[in-house]
Amino acid sequence: EERKEAGRAPPADKQARRAARAAAEWSGAPAQREWERQRQQVQKPSLCPVNRPRELQQFHRLSLKASLPTAEANSRPAPSGNGCPGNGCRFTSVASEAEGLLGRLAMAEHGPYLPHEPGYGLYQPGYGLFDDQTPDPDHRMLACQNAKAYLLQSSLTSGLNLYDHLVNVLTKILDERPANPVDIFENISKDVKAAQFQKKMDTLRDEHEILPSFESAEIRRNLFFKSDAGDEEREEELGEIPLPNVMETAFYFEQGGIGLSRDETYLIFLALKKLVSVQPIQTCRFWGRILGREKNYIIAEVQFREGEEEEETEEEEVIDEGDKRMDEVEDEDEEKEKNEPPKSTYKPPPVIPKEENGTGANKHVYFVCNEPGEPWVKLPPVTPAQIVCARKIKKFFTGRLDAPIVSFPPFPGNEANYLRAQIARISAGTHVSPLGYYRFSEEEGDEDEEGGGGRDDYEENPDFEPLSAFEMVESLSTWVHHVPSILKQGRCVWFNPLQKTEEEEGEEEEEEKDEVPDELQQETGPPLLTPLSEDEGIQNIPAWTVSLSTRLIPQYAVAILRSNRWPGAYAFACGTKFGNIYFGWGHKYSLGNHTPALPPPVQPEYPNGPEIREAADPTVEEELAFKAAQEQKALEGMEGEEEEEEEEFEEDEEEEEEDD
Partner 1 sequence: MEPAALPTALQLAASGDTGLSLEKRAALGASLLLLQRDYRFERVWFWGCIQGVRGTYYIAQGLGPDLAAPRSRLYSLNCVEWSLLPPATVEMVEQAALLKGLFQGDPSFEYEYAEVNAEDDERFLEDGKELTIKEENRLVATIEQIDRAVGIIPRRAFMKTPLGSVHENRNFEGLSLTEAKKLSSYFHFTEPVNLKNKTLLEKADLDPSTDFLDSLEHDVPQAVKCKYAENLIQRFLWWDIPLKKCYQFGFLLLFCFWSSE
Interface residues with partner 1 (CB under 8 A)? 178, 184, 187, 191, 211-213, 216-217, 254-261, 263-264, 288-289, 291-296, 396, 538-542, 545, 549-552, 562, 564, 567-568, 570, 581, 583-585, 591-593
Q: Which residues pair with 563 in a beta bridge?
A: 544
Least Å distance between CB 559 and partner 1?
13
- Identify residue 569 by its one-letter amino acid code: A
Can you tell me the distance from the alpha carbon of 13 to that of 74, in angstroms, rounded to the nearest whole number? 13
Q: Please identify, using beta-carbon distances, which residue of 209 and 442 lies nearer to partner 1.
A: 209
Least Å distance between CB 332 and partner 1?
51
Least Å distance between CB 176 and partner 1?
12
Q: Please identify, using beta-carbon distances, which residue of 133 and 593 lies nearer to partner 1.
A: 593
Least Å distance between CB 14 and partner 1?
46
Which distant-in-sequence residues (6+ apart) come within 8 Å of 401 by Cβ?
368, 377, 414, 415, 416, 419
Q: Please identify, using beta-carbon distances, which residue of 258 and 271 lies nearer to partner 1.
A: 258
Determine contact, residues 585/396, Cβ cutoff 8 Å: yes
Can you tell me the distance from the alpha carbon of 403 to that of 293, in angstroms, rounded to the nearest whole number? 12
| CA torsion angle 113 114 119 123 (round to 10) | 50
3-state SS assignment for residue 434: strand
Least Å distance between CB 122 and partner 1?
37
Least Å distance between CB 580 and partner 1?
13
Least Å distance between CB 97 and partner 1?
37
Q: Please identify, using beta-carbon distances, which residue of 499 and 593 lies nearer to partner 1.
A: 593
Q: Could you tell me the CA-to-CA distances from 339 to 328, 330, 335, 346 in Å, in that order? A: 19, 16, 9, 20
Q: Which residues pair with 281 in a beta bridge?
A: 304
Least Å distance between CB 208 and partner 1?
15
Give the other-Cβ count within 10 Å of 379's Cβ. Answer: 20
Q: Please identify, using beta-carbon distances, which residue of 295 and 633 lies nearer to partner 1.
A: 295
Which distant-in-sequence residues (6+ apart) come within 8 Å of 363 by Cβ?
303, 483
Q: Which residues pair with 161 in a beta bridge?
A: 154
Q: Please identify, using beta-carbon distances, which residue of 29 and 179 lies nearer to partner 1.
A: 179
Q: Please identify, using beta-carbon distances, which residue of 541 and 629 lies nearer to partner 1.
A: 541
Q: Please identify, using beta-carbon distances, which residue of 226 and 551 lies nearer to partner 1.
A: 551
Q: Please identify, using beta-carbon distances, which residue of 44 and 220 lies nearer to partner 1.
A: 220
Q: Please identify, using beta-carbon distances, which residue of 144 and 271 lies nearer to partner 1.
A: 271
Q: Please identify, using beta-carbon distances, which residue of 186 and 639 lies nearer to partner 1.
A: 186
Which distant-in-sequence residues (6+ apart) come within 8 Å of 468 by Cβ?
none
CA angle 145–147–153, rounded 5-degree value: 100
Checking 177-183 for CB contacts under 8 A at 24+ apart, the result is 177/49
Determine contact, residues 47/61, Cβ cutoff 8 Å: no
CA angle 65–66–71, rounded 5-degree value: 110
Least Å distance between CB 390 and partner 1?
19
Determine contact, residues 47/6, Cβ cutoff 8 Å: no
Count Cβ atoms within 10 A of the Cβ of residue 452 and give its class: 0-12 exposed, 13-18 middle, 19 or more buried: middle
What are the backbone dihedrals phi and psi of residue 432, each rounded to the nearest 5 degrees, phi first? -130, 160
Least Å distance between CB 343 and partner 1?
45
